[in-house]
Amino acid sequence: MRLVHGLVLLLAVPVLAAGHGVVSGCQDWSTVKDSKNVCCNRCKPGNRLVTACGTEPNALCTPCGNDTYISGSDQKICLRCTQCIGTLHVKEKCTASSDTVCECSQGFRCGDSKCSFCEKECKKGHQPTRNRTCELCPPGTYNDQIHHHCINWTRCSQPGQQIIVPGKAESDVICGPKKETNQTTLPHDNKPTMSPLSNTENNATWILISFGLLCIAIPVLTILYLELRRGKATHKPPGTKEPLNAGPNQRSLPEECSFCFPQQEHGGSSSQSSMASLVSEDKILPLEA
């Protein structure tokens, strides 16, 4: 008789739940020894356990109502479905056996594994803060990924290395070999090589050279000009008349003495006779009344 009753229960048509459209009842049960009752080991998905044991397996579990769900097969309480509000919107709807799956709007990202809240998505060069916003990476740090915390710049501390590209908020520094300082190299003859002058130094050198040549050229041209005039004065053209008062004993001074002191005229006796004649003339002049 018990065997017949069990077969009837197994062949019983399951009832569809009105809430989520799930099949109600117990999915796995076991019979109680020396009893008409059965005990449910696992309810069907979307059903909560009403009572552990009873005469009918389908009566041991019942589906969750609208806007509720249950994730475990042996739980007795259905949970309220999560509501996606604000920056959250529905990715997967709530069912009797699973909660609502939310996702964040564009420009935001989930703040935890369950996506129970959203926070602003930080771009490169920024990092998230505790108040769910973003801030610029502090000096000396960078972030080259989306929504990550800033990290310190690389220190070029290896021997022979230096920073060849400075760091930025969104990129790290780039290290490279140190550039050798400019040193005077000695060729094979052990003589220092002269570095070429710059354009400014070349211009200054040419100006000094030109000024020096000009200072030398002016006196030379002046001397040549004077010599040329002296030569013209010495070599007079034919037909030039001598001055009337030129006596036989008078001779013209050479041009070279133009810079010499004037010499006294020879013939002191003639000078004395001239002075005597002047005195005599003064004596002859009549006295005015």
pLDDT digits (tens, 9 = 90+) for 124-170: 999 999 888 999 999 999 999 999 999 999 999 888 889 999 999 99
Q: Are residues 58 and 116 in the same domain?
A: no
Angle at 178 between CA 176 and CA 184, to 5 degrees: 150
DSSP H helical segments within 130-287, as ranges? 199-234, 268-284
Q: Are residues 8 and 39 in the same domain?
A: yes
242 within domain boundaries: no
Label residue 115 by pLDDT band (50, 70, 90): very high
202 within domain boundaries: no
Give residue 113's domain range: 81-121
- Write b or e for each residue in 107-135: b if 16 or more Cβ atoms lie within 10 A of its Cβ, otherwise e: ebbbeeeebeebbbbbebbbbbeeeeeee
**Neighbour count for residue 47 (Cβ, 10 Å):** 28
- CATH number of the domain bearing residue 91: 2.10.50
pLDDT digits (tens, 9 = 90+) for 128-141: 998 889 999 999 99
Total domain count, the chain: 3
205 within domain boundaries: no
Question: For the whole model, what pTM was predicted?
Answer: 0.47
Q: Averaged over 198-223, what is the pLDDT? A: 83
Q: Are residues 136 and 101 in the same domain?
A: no
Domain boundary among 80, 105, 137: 80
Q: Are residues 41 and 107 in the same domain?
A: no
144 within domain boundaries: yes
Cβ pair 57, 14 in contact under 8 A = no
- CATH number of the domain bearing residue 161: 2.10.50.10
138 within domain boundaries: yes
